[in-house]
């Protein structure tokens, strides 16, 4: 090997050795930096100790005591309003409508003229009947003269008795024709009077169904007049519900005066949720239970002096069915329903929450009757239940009933 080649190999070996020294020195520096970083962290946090998490304050909740009092139980049924009397106004004769004499939707009196039908054809029929009556009376007068003339002649045997008998029969027939024609005249007069269609009752007249110029007859309903003070309100009771109130309903239907304790005024809740100002009373029950629905139709009477209630309106009848004495009640918001079971969060000693199962009764307004699981005076959580865990400490405050709610 020449000197030149040996020099080249020596130079390469020295370069590699220098690179290895630089690499080992760099790795040492990195190890030192990592050790220093760990040591700094241990000094900052304390050896073997982890940073502590700040504790959360107890959740805020609103509580209210369990109340004990007598609770009236109210029940509701869907109801519809109808006039106390509804009279369909139909003409008694056939003819053309020529006049409407009332203002739709206003109060009308009994016998007030509402419509007029063209009377000319019926007046002509009346005059014809009167003419036929006059002819019948003339024949009757002639027959009576014959009887008066022949009676003394027959007594004197100047004429045969059969002649007088024939005259008498002719007179009787003439008298019968007169009576028949008199009846035709009276009927024609009645028909002429029927051309003025009158109201059958006092009440509110509805919108007219007929127009001027229409051909109307006894099958035509021109309008309806309804008596609206009082009104009837119909609702349906199940058979068991009816049996519980059958005595009171029967007494009301017969007009029997009830004792103050038995008298149960009815309330009518209108479709907008408001309660009608005037209480009602039971009026009657239908004659039978509906075989298809198992319900019986009940009618209540409500005064309607301002005529606010109109036939066809819907609402709900509310009636007190019983009173629960010394019942325990809590707000409905305090009851948590899960798959048919009911639970309540109760505030125990040390402000610790306790989840308790309860047996519920009927709902009354915004409250719920509790049959079992609570005692009077215990504090139940109403607001903030979702933040409560069994045994957890809570921060209670008094529950405030929402304004406008009972």
Query: What average pLDDT does the segment 201-219 reach?
Result: 93
SS3 260: coil
Fold of the domain built from segment(s) 75-82+227-322: Elongation Factor Tu (Ef-tu); domain 3 (2.40.30)
Backbone angles phi, psi at 359, to 5 degrees: -110, 120
Q: How many CB atoms lie within 10 A of CB 222?
A: 21
Q: Is residue 36 pLDDT above 80, yes or no?
A: no
| Across 50-54, 126-130, 205-209, 307-311, least confident range | 50-54
| Structural tokens at position 9 | 């190999």
Residue 346 reports pLDDT greater than 70: yes
Instruction: Decide if pLDDT at 345 tops 50.
Output: yes
Q: Over 60: is that where the pLDDT of 151 sits?
A: yes
Give the confidence band of 405 by pLDDT, cuts at 50, 70, 90: very low
Read off the pLDDT of each residue in 349-370 and give the average, rounded to a whole number.
88
Asked whether residue 159 carries a pLDDT value surpassing 50, the answer given is yes
pLDDT for the residue 231: 95
| Proportion of the chain above pLDDT 70, given as a percent | 83
State yes or no: pLDDT of 347 exceeds 50: yes
- Whether the per-residue pLDDT at 403 is higher than 60: the answer is no
Cα distance between residue 392 and residue 59, in whole Å = 9
State the pLDDT confidence band at 47, using cuts at 50, 70 and 90.
very low
Q: What is the mean pLDDT of residues 233-260?
A: 78
Render pLDDT for 195-204 as a digit per residue (tens, 0 to 9). Answer: 999 999 999 9
pLDDT on residue 14: 65
Q: 356 and 346 in contact (C-beta within 8 Å)?
A: yes
pLDDT of residue 242 exceeding 60: yes
**Adjacency order of strands within the sheet including 196-198:** 196-198, 113-117, 95-100, 215-216
- 62-72+324-398 has which fold? 2.40.420
- Consecutive H or E run containing 175: helix 161-193
Bridge-partner residues for 60, per DSSP?
A: 395
CATH 2.40.50.100 for domain 89-216, yes or no, is yes
Whether 98 has a pLDDT exceeding 60, the answer reads yes
Residue 162 confidence (pLDDT) above 90: no
Least confident of 125-134, 142-151, 245-254, 311-320: 245-254
Mean pLDDT to the nearest integer, 103-113: 94
């Amino acid at each position: 090997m020449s000197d030149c080649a040996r020099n080249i190999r020596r130079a390469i070996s020295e370069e590699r050795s220098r690179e290895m020294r630089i690499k080992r020195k760099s790795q040492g520096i990195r190890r030192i930096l990592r050790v220093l970083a760990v040591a700094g962290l241990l000094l900052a946090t304390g050896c073997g100790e982890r940073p502590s998490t700040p504790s959360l304050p107890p959740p805020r909740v609103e509580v209210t005591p369990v109340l004990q009092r007598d609770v009236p139980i109210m029940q509701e049924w869907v109801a519809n309003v109808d006039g106390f009397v509804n009279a369909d106004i139909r003409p008694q004769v056939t003819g053309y409508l020529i006049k409407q004499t009332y203002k739709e939707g206003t109060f009308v009196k009994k016998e007030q003229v509402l419509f007029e039908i063209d009377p000319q054809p019926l007046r002509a029929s009346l005059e014809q009947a009167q003419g036929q009556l006059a002819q019948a009376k003339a024949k009757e007068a002639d027959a009576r003269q014959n009887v008066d003339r022949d009676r003394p002649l027959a007594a004197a045997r100047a004429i045969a008795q059969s002649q007088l008998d024939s005259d008498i029969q002719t007179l009787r027939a003439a008298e019968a024709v007169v009576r028949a024609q008199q009846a035709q005249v009276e009927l024609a007069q009645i028909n002429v009077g029927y051309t003025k269609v009158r109201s059958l009752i006092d009440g509110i007249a509805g919108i007219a169904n007929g127009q001027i110029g229409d051909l109307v007859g006894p099958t035509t309903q021109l309008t309806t007049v309804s008596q609206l003070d009082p009104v009837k309100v119909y609702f349906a009771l199940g058979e068991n519900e009816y049996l519980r109130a059958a005595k009171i309903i029967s007494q009301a239907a017969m007009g029997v005066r009830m004792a103050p304790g038995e008298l149960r005024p009815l309330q009518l809740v209108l479709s907008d949720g408001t309660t009608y100002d005037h209480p009602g009373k039971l009026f009657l029950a239908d004659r039978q239970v509906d075989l298809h629905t198992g319900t019986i139709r009940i009618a209540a009477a409500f005064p309607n002096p301002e005529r606010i209630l109109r036939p066809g309106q819907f609402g709900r009848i509310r009636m007190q069915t019983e009173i629960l004495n010394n019942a325990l009640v809590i707000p409905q918001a305090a009851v948590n329903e899960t798959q048919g079971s009911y639970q309540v969060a109760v505030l125990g000693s040390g402000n610790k929450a306790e989840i308790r199962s309860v047996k519920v009764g009927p709902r009354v307004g915004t409250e719920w009757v509790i049959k079992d699981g609570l005692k009077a005076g215990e504090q139940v959580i109403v607001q903030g239940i979702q933040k409560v865990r069994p045994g957890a400490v809570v921060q209670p405050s008094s529950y405030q009933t929402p304004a406008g709610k009972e």
